[in-house]
Structure 1
Amino acid sequence: MASIHKLHTDILWSIFTFNTGPPLTSTSSRNIENCLRPLTVTRQSSQVCRSWRQILLQSSSLWGRLIDLNQLGQKNRLWADEVVRRSGFALLWIYGDMHPQGSMEANEDFFFSVLDRIERIQILEVEVQDGVDHNDQGWDILLRPAPCLQFFKLSYSQPLLQNSQRPIFANRAPSLLSFDTHQVPFAIDAPWLSHIRDIRFPLEFTIRQVLELCCRMPHLETFHPSDSFDINMVFIEPLPRMHLPFLSSIQLTTGLVNALTFLDHITPAPGCSLSLHTNDGIRVTAHVTPRMLETAPSILSRRMVDYFSYHAPTRIRVEFTPVALSFLDVSYRPDDSDCKFVIQLSPWYARNRTGHVLLSQAFLFPPASLACLVSVKEVELFLYDIHPTMYPGLRSILQACHSVNKIAISFDSISYLTGIETLSDRILYSCLQNLSDRIIFPHLQTLQVDLDKGYNHEVIDMAKFLRFLKKYRDNGSPLSLLKLTDYQEEDPLNIDALNEMADLTVQWMSGEEVVESVGGRRT
């Protein structure tokens, strides 16, 4: 007898249970091969031998975890109903894509039939495909109590239950920990909010309502609103301030006014991640006031200092382009993949120079706050079509990265970086004794240049880098490596101007070969 057949029943049951979870997300459910899907694995396990089949058929809780909409529907409705029957009265995990009737993968009827067991549903993570009727009476099931529901995620392009006079889950979802949908409305005084750990909410809330909502969620861990919440600049009464001791991740996509107001009124857990994306449309340009921009650096830097105090940065990315002004932590964190710090501010018009310059003031961080960047070893820098008035803010950020030994830069960015260095000269030359302080990166050794910009086979002339390289050489800090990436062989490359940099290694790929040149001589 094979060794596996000698395993105790409890061990086998634990293995079978392990194979049923965790539930697949909508994305992973689409990408995973059928042979590896929990439902397929469980079904095949039940066909190995009589004893395994007996264990599995007696385990209704296992079958309740296998309501995979990407495998169950109209094509195999008998099997779908059999899986539900085998679940008995156990808790249900429902996940996958919901497709409308008449489609190749139709499972709408089956979905509503299992949704009708809402009192048993523990996890519901479903992406509704276009074509499903958002007015179908089946959605009214969500207005019934859901006593066992812990995780609720419903993605759909259409609003649901907008005209209902009854509250979602009849206000009775005492086990709910995660609410992730922007199409189902709920009241900010819903009793189940007191247990919520993670939330995504509808986009019609005002900033005051958002803050009041947070007050009702003392255990909140992740705050990820799905879209811009409404502007409400008339604050008749002071907005509430609150401490959210468990809040470890904030993702905001809204106007700058709302974002700053929200961040200024909360105190999250130490080291809280922040992903901020603003895109102020023409309708709110009047709200981007000088006073607001004066407070932006202190509010944003407060979050930056707190985050980097617990997650020391080793690599950052700075992007100033007409599309957006961005500051990102891109440090390699294999054990902390959820940690992130992103500030991305988009002007109301990509080519609106005034808005572009105004938003750059948000990056004029207080000098003391920039000490948290001292551990940065690598900077990714992408600058394009920026005004010299933006240089001071950029210079202060880059100078704080005192330990940088490598810069990754786009080909077009070097002229702006040289301009920032020149600005540094004008301001600092008269008062500095140490010549190395006249350069921004005194420990810089490697300059990596991205050439993939589509030059239509024009000559790529590296002469524009010479001024920058000579400045570092003349200040006693010569670079050792100029690495050219994304070079296309059909593009002529002119590095003759770099020949006078006798000790500089220029490196690029030619086909599969690494080519190096030192002082104009190939090695």
Structure 2
Amino acid sequence: MAYRGLDAHLFRGAVIPTNSPLPVFALSYISRLTHELLLTIFMTIANMYDDQFILPMEDTRFRALTIVRRAAQVCSRWRKLLLENGGIWGRVIDVNLLLDLKTEHWRNEVLQRTRTAPLFIRGTVFSPYSDKKRQEFDRDVRKFFMKLFNFTNWERTEVLDLAVDNIAWFSRKTLEYIQRPHRHLKIFRLTTLEDPPAFRTPLDRPNMIAFTKKAPRLVQLECTDVAINLQAHWFSSLCNFGLSYRKETNRSHPFTLHDILSTLEQMPHLERLNIRWAIKRPTKDDMANVQPKLLHNLKKLGIEDNFATCIAFLAKVRAPRGCHFVLTTNDTTYSTDPRFIAGARAVIALFAQNFFSANAISRIRLNLNDSGLIISALDSRPASFEGGYRFRIECALSNAPQEASPLLKFFAESLSPALSSSSITRLLLYSSGKGRVVSIEGLALFLGSLGSLEVLETTAEVINRYLCPFFSKLVEGAKISGRQPPPLCPNLRMVSILSFDVYGTPNSEAPAPNLAMRLLYLFKFREQLGFPIPLLDLTLCRSSLCPLECLEEMTGLSVIWRDRDGGQKVYVCRSGAANETAFN
């Protein structure tokens, strides 16, 4: 049986109790596990979802519902144990899997097996693209949701973690249940993604109050376009709070800055906060009439809105050291008001210093795009850890001057104190789209703050469009001033090229010939400064390699790449085989 390999793995290194009533050899078989241990294993499987369950999992074999269902088919003992424990089935209400099944019988069977146990309902439901399939799919979803969210089931729901792109799948009666007090609900995450909204529902009626006055066990609330009464008593128990509204609808910005801050003051246990398009743009009077709020236990803060509103909100929030920070703003207008710029710089600098002073970050990414930039801190943890990036700034300008976007300079000035005191050893420098021209001061300040940088991971596009013109202007400035160019990133030891494609020639089989000379210029510039780069890494390059015989001028430079068979090759320039770097 295939389970025997698993048996040995489970018990490898285990201490077998001497007073066990079973022979030692019998304990190695999973079929001999005690009732209590089996129940613990099955409950662990049922609880294996994390905060990111709402993201779809492609391989359904390892979803909890699949594993529990197959475990019930192993033997009569396991089946009896699982069927007697409705709490296990109640924790694996996987809406995606249940809707994928063609028969309604199994959906009803799973609900029946939950008995009267608490329900943990999770899933992401998107409509099919085909009109014909969509009509049939909509009927199935509506029918299933009517049964899943009837009054009896809603009363015993402890977790609702659902994203849908059609709110019309919910009956009006189901949505009205949300207005009633709920004694058991712990987590409520309902994201509606339809655009434009199918119709106005009880979720967004001005007089609608979610859970009315009582939801005493609620610890996590995240919702999109749901009308919320910020005076509700259950806010005091929340640990996670996310309030989102769609920017393009008339539902956005329903609350004042005072409304939000007053509510946060009543949330002593708050650990994660995410506000999206929920705050009306504050006036000067609004700013003068609210005091900063200290959120003692906050671990992660996310804000998305127009830039002025984001800065106004952040200026009135005090987060503890180490707090994760995510700022997103995509309709920023370029302000030349020096007082606003100075104030915004100070606000962002404070949150950056809070984060980098308490978190060991070794990698940072800068992506320059058509409208702005993205700066994000990376480490060994996946991007989905704790619901996304630990530190990320995404900012776009709608009316910035095309000749030199001021964004990089602004954020470089804001982040420089925090980055200078960190131990960042790797920079991922990318570009997408045509990209704006970056100010020399901004790029110099950003690179200058990375004193510990050892590895630059980038593309030929970035070198061609940004770095070489940047270094050329540094040289010109040095000639005019008679001073040596600044030694940016003195510890840089390796450049890693991910692609030789350039904008306008995607997947090009013949990269532009001047890219090799651009790369040579970069290495020569560093050598002339007295800080040569000893290693060029092409092992991660996703495009055709550009012939680099010209690098033979760089004595001692090591070039690493992979041949067609995937083997790693190394060539040291001036070692007598320059044709190696032709990559024929």
Settle same-fold status: TM greater than 0.5: yes
Q: CA deviation at 1:176?
A: 0.8
Alpha-carbon distance in 2 for matches of 1:235, 1:359: 31
- Alignment-mate amino acid for residue 121 of structure 2: I
- CA offset at residue 102 of structure 1? 3.5
Q: Secondary structure at the match of 2:216?
A: coil
Match of 1:249 in 2: 300
Cα displacement (A) at 1:458? 4.8
Q: 1:232 to 1:288 in 2, by over 3 A?
A: farther
Quote the offset at 1:28 in angstroms: 5.7
1:97–1:128 CA contact under 8 A, matched in 2: yes
Matched, 1:182 2:224: yes
Deviates more, 1:219-228 or 1:24-33: 24-33
Alignment match of 1:220 (pick from 259, 265, 270)? 270
Amino acid at match of 1:414: I
- Report the CA distance shift for 1:188/1:430 in structure 2 as closer, same or farther (over 3 A): same
CA distance change for structure 1 residues 164 and 77 in 2, over 3 Å: closer, same or farther? farther
Secondary structure of 2:301's match? strand
What is residue 395 of structure 1 aligned with on the other side?
A: 444
1:295 paired residue number: 343
SS in 1 for 2:364: strand
The residue aligned with 1:89 is 116
Alpha-carbon shift at residue 244 of structure 1 (Å):
0.8
Q: What residue is the counterpart of 2:310 in the other structure?
A: 259
Amino acid of the residue matched to residue 139 of structure 1?
A: L
Count of residue pairs the alignment pairs up: 511
Matched letter for residue 116 of structure 2: F
- Tell me whether 1:11 sits opposite 2:37 in the alignment: yes
Question: d(CA) in 1 for partners of 2:531 and 2:243?
Answer: 53
**2:495 aligned with 1:447, yes or no?**
yes
In structure 2, the residue corresponding to 1:401 is in which secondary structure?
coil
Residue 121 (structure 1) aligns with: 157
Q: Is the 1:318–1:381 contact (alpha carbons within 8 Å) kept by the matching residues of 2?
A: yes
Further displaced range: 147-156 or 339-348 = 339-348
Match of 1:276 among 327, 339, 346: 327
1:474 aligns with 2:518: no
| 1:465 equivalenced with 2:516 (yes/no) | no
Cα distance between partner residues in 2 of 1:288 and 1:212: 31
Q: Work out whether residues 551 and 573 of structure 2, in 8 Å CA contact, stay in contact via their aligned partners in 1.
A: no
Superposition TM-score, scaled by structure 1 size: 0.85
Q: Deviation digits for residues 387-418 of structure 1, max 9, x if unmatched?
A: 46x22232122112122222223324336334
Q: SS in structure 2 opposite 1:181?
A: strand
Amino acid at match of 2:241: I
- AA in 1 matched with 2:37: I
**What do residues 288-325 of structure 1 show as CA deviations (whole Å, max 9, x unaligned)?**
74322222222111111111111133222233343212
- 2:553 equivalent in structure 1: 500
For 2:414 and 2:473, locate their aligned partners in 1 and report how far apart those are by CA, in whole Å: 18
- 2: CA distance between counterparts of 1:55 and 1:70? 25
User: 2:563 matched to 1:521?
Assistant: no
What pairs with 1:264-343 in structure 2 (closer than 5 Å)?
264-280=315-331, 285=333, 289-333=337-381, 337-338=385-386, 340-343=390-393
Contact 1:294–1:362 (CA under 8 A) maintained in structure 2: no
- On the 8 A contact 2:349/2:417 being kept in 1, the answer is no
Match of 2:238 among 196, 199, 204: 196
Counterpart secondary structure, 2:120:
strand
1:486 aligned partner, one-letter code: C
Paired residue for 2:146? 112
> What letter corresponds to residue 126 of structure 1 in structure 2?
L
Cα distance between partner residues in 1 of 2:79 and 2:407: 68
**d(CA) in 1 for partners of 2:93 and 2:417?**
54
Which among 180, 187, 191 is matched to residue 151 of structure 1?
187
Instruction: Check whether the contact 1:473–1:479 (CA below 8 A) recurs between aligned residues.
Output: yes
Q: Aligned AA for 2:558? A: T
Q: Provide the rounded CA distance (Å) in 2 between the counterparts of 1:216 and 1:331.
A: 34
Contact map agreement 1:402 1:442 (CA 8 A) in 2: yes
Q: Match for residue 238 of structure 1? A: 289
Within 5 A, what are the aligned runs for 1:333-412? 333=381, 337-338=385-386, 340-349=390-399, 352-353=401-402, 356-357=405-406, 360-365=409-414, 368-373=417-422, 375-382=423-430, 386-387=436-437, 390-412=439-461
Structure 2: distance between partners of 1:49 and 1:500: 72
- 1:21 corresponds to 2:47: yes
Q: Secondary structure at the match of 1:122?
A: strand
The CA RMSD measured in Å over matched residues stands at 3.5
Asked if structure 2 preserves the Cα contact closer than 8 Å seen for 1:181 and 1:200, the reply is: yes
Amino acid at match of 2:578: R
- The TM-score normalised by the length of structure 2 is 0.77
Whole-angstrom distance in 2 between the partners of 1:11 and 1:187: 45
Partner of 1:169: 211
CA distance in 1, matches of 2:292, 2:72: 56
User: What amino acid sits opposite 1:132 in the alignment?
Assistant: A
Alignment check: 8 A CA contact 1:296 1:362 kept: no
- Contact 1:429/1:438, CA 8 A, preserved across alignment: no
**Which moves more between the two structures, 98-107 or 248-257?**
98-107
Indicate if the aligned counterparts of 2:349 and 2:418 stay in contact, CA closer than 8 A.
yes
SS at match of 1:171: coil
Distance in 2, matches of 1:348 and 1:335, equals 28
Give the whole-Å Cα distance in 2 for the aligned partners of 1:360 and 1:42: 54
| Deviations 1:65-102 (CA, angstroms, capped at 9, x unpaired) | 23332344695444433433333322111222557873
Distance 1:358 1:440, change over 3 A: closer
Q: CA deviation at 1:4?
A: 4.0
Change beyond 3 A, Cα 1:121–1:421: same
Contact 1:171 1:192 (C-alpha < 8 Å) held by counterparts: yes
What is the match of residue 85 of structure 2?
59
SS at match of 2:441: helix
